């Protein structure tokens, strides 16, 4: 039992009251910080707390054209335009941080308050949902195979029967899908290195998101020698990642995505970066 010195009642009460007030103040301060869905930082509109005053900070992995890539010194792309809508809604500007994709999908970049959200052409998966809160889906995706012209490849089965080498980008659903089909692909750190691996013969065939392959093939020097040889209907959907439990920011992002689909803004962004008509959105989870 702790030693308790004898004190007059009034003095004891004053000390107890002061201690209680200090404890209450501390609790209120912690509650104010802890109530932030974003986990601290500067207060923002609509109940959203931001890691930096006046900025919506986005973690991404550049380049992943057409979703995020550099034009000069500026990062542009499909994802950038979508997040800009959320930034505009909040009355702030978007700031982009380029980091390793593994740190994005694991949630570590968000948990360490490096950024408010992550937009990186990122497929919503059950494993990633353990680490991140995802927005409503904003892009229907699928995988594709790319190979040298005249390869004779029209499927993953052809890659296996012909004894060809398959390449994939590290930490992606394309890599996971290939492994599920009992392949052991060569891993490339990012999408440009994956394309270079195909061009230099390190891989005979590569698996990558269809929109990325289609963008590569818009370049004459690539289209002259390579082609999309197969679509793999994996039924994927991209989502914008946020820190687990960040319901305030999720509400804003979900609402701007829905508004963009309703008012035609999404169609304009889609045609700007993808260059084709917008397909009818698939139900979430299909």
User: Would you place residue 276 in the very low, low, confident or very high pLDDT band (cuts 50, 70, 90)?
Assistant: confident
Of 97 and 31, the one with more pLDDT:
97
User: Would you place residue 115 in the very low, low, confident or very high pLDDT band (cuts 50, 70, 90)?
Assistant: very high
- CB of 168 within 8 A of CB of 176? no
For 145-174, what is each residue's pLDDT tens digit? 999 999 999 999 999 999 999 999 999 999
Mean pLDDT of the chain: 87
Instruction: Indicate if the pLDDT at residue 92 is higher than 60.
Output: yes
The residue-averaged pLDDT of 26-42 equals 44
Domains of the chain plus CATH, in order, are 42-138+239-273 (3.40.190.10), 142-236 (3.40.190.10)
The residue-averaged pLDDT of 252-266 equals 98
- Contacts (Cβ under 8 Å, ≥6 apart) of 31: none
Compute how many other C-beta atoms are within 10 angstroms of the C-beta atom of residue 12: 13
User: Mind spelling out the 3-state secondary structure of the chain?
Assistant: CCCCCCCCHHHHHHHHHHHHHHHHHHHHHHHHHHCCCCCCCEECHHHCEECECCEEEEEECCCECCCEEEECCEEECHHHHHHHHHHHHHCCEEEEEECCHHHHHCCHHHHCCCCCEECCCCECCHHHHCCEEECCCCEEEEEEEEEECCCCCCCHHHHHHCCCCEEEECCCHHHHHHHHCCCCCEEECCHHHHHHHHHCCCCCEEEEEHHHHHHHCCCHHHHCCEEEEEEEEEEEEECCEEECCCHHHHHHHHHHHHHHHHHCHHHHHHHHHCCCCCCCCCCCCC
Residue the block writes with tokens 């889609």: 270
- Residue 176's alpha-carbon distances to 183, 208, 215, 281, in angstroms, are 9, 11, 22, 24
Chain-centroid distance of CA 109 in Å reads 11
- CB of 89 within 8 A of CB of 78? no
User: Would you place residue 40 in the very low, low, confident or very high pLDDT band (cuts 50, 70, 90)?
Assistant: low
**Cα–Cα distance for residue pair 87/57, rounded to 1 Å:** 9
Instruction: Indicate if the pLDDT at residue 212 is higher than 90.
Output: yes
Instruction: Indicate if the pLDDT at residue 75 is higher than 90.
Output: yes
Task: Enter the pTM of the model.
Answer: 0.82
User: Would you place residue 124 in the very low, low, confident or very high pLDDT band (cuts 50, 70, 90)?
Assistant: very high
Q: What is the model's pLDDT at position 279?
A: 60
Q: What is the model's pLDDT at position 256?
A: 98
User: Would you place residue 46 in the very low, low, confident or very high pLDDT band (cuts 50, 70, 90)?
Assistant: confident
Q: What is the model's pLDDT at position 18?
A: 41
User: Would you place residue 198 in the very low, low, confident or very high pLDDT band (cuts 50, 70, 90)?
Assistant: very high
């Amino acid at each position: 039992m702790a030693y308790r010195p004898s004190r007059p009642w009034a003095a004891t009460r004053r000390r107890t009251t002061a201690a209680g007030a200090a404890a209450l103040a501390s609790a209120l301060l912690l509650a104010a910080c802890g109530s932030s869905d974003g986990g601290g930082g500067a207060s923002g509109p609509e109940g959203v707390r931001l890691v930096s005053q006046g900025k919506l900070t986005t973690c991404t992995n550049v380049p992943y054209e057409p979703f995020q890539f550099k034009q000069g010194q500026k990062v542009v792309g499909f994802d950038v335009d979508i997040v800009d809508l959320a930034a505009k809604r909040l009355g702030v500007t978007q700031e982009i941080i380029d980091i390793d994709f593994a740190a994005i999908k694991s949630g570590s970049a968000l948990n360490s308050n490096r950024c408010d959200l992550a937009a990186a052409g990122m497929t919503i998966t059950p494993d990633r949902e353990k680490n991140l809160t995802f927005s409503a889906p904003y892009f229907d995706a699928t995988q594709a195979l790319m190979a040298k012209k005249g390869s004779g490849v029209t499927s993953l089965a052809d890659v296996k029967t012909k004894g060809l080498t398959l390449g994939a980008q590290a930490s992606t659903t394309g890599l996971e899908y290939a492994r599920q089909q009992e392949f052991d692909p060569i891993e490339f750190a990012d999408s440009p290195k994956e394309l270079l691996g195909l061009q230099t013969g390190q891989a005979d065939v590569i698996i990558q998101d269809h929109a990325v392959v289609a963008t590569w093939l818009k370049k004459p020097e690539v289209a002259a020698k390579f082609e999309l040889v197969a679509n793999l209907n994996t039924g994927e959907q991209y989502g914008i990642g946020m820190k687990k439990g960040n319901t305030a920011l999720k509400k804003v992002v979900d609402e701007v995505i829905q508004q963009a689909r309703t008012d035609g803004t999404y169609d304009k962004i889609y045609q700007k970066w993808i260059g084709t008509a917008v397909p009818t959105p698939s139900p979430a989870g299909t």
